[in-house]
Amino acid sequence: MQVPVAKPTTVVDSRGTMCPGPITDLFRAFRNSSIGDVIELWATDPAAKPDVQTWAKRSGNEVLAIIDENGYTKIQVRIVKKGTAR
């Protein structure tokens, strides 16, 4: 188990939602985020962890920590890359 490495800018509580709930909630937070923000996603759905990891890898963002709490997982993502492909 990892420990939180950063103070989250936004906490997204998706506990109790099933796929695609957590990743949908993460995307909504990502849309409203700024570079340097740390989004902390709370999820009970086991698909959240691999989905967020794959998304972060693809989008060039950074998974800082995955913390197993009692009955749910906290996933911390630092936004280091967002948009402006032009």
Partner 1 sequence: MEVALEGKKPDSIIREERPLVDKNVTYIENSVDMIDLNQRVVFTADGKKLAYDYIILATGSVPDPDSIAGLRAASLNFHTSTEDSLKIWDALQQFRKGHIVLGIAGVPHKCPPSPNEGTFLLDDYLRKSGKRDDAKITFVTPYPRPYPAEAMSKVVEPLFQKRGIDVVTFFNLESVDPTKKELYSLEGDTLSYDLLIMVPPHRGADVIIKSGLGDKDGWIPTDKYTMNVKGYDNAYAIGDCTDIPVSKTGVTAHLEAKVAANNIISSIENLGQTHKYTGRINCPFEMGSGKAAFVVGSYEKPVKEIHPSRIRHVMKRGFERIYWRSLTGNLDWLLDTYFGATDIVENSKPTVVSSK
Instruction: Quote the least distance from Cβ 61 to partner 1, whole Å.
Output: 9
Site string for partner 1, 19-58 (x = CB under 8 A): xxx-xx--xx-xx---------------x---x--xx--x
Residues facing 10 on adjacent strands: 39
Could you tell me if 44 and 74 are in contact, meaning their C-beta atoms sit under 8 angstroms apart?
no
- To the nearest 10 degrees (0 to 180), the angle between helices 21-31 and 48-59 is 30
Length of the chain: 86
48 is catalytic: no
Q: Is residue 80 part of the contact set for partner 1 (CB under 8 A)? A: no
Q: Is residue 4 part of the contact set for partner 1 (CB under 8 A)? A: no
Cα–Cα dist 65/20, whole Å: 21
- Segment interacting with partner 1 (CB under 8 A) among 1-9, 10-18, 35-43, 65-73: 10-18
> Which amino acids are annotated catalytic?
19
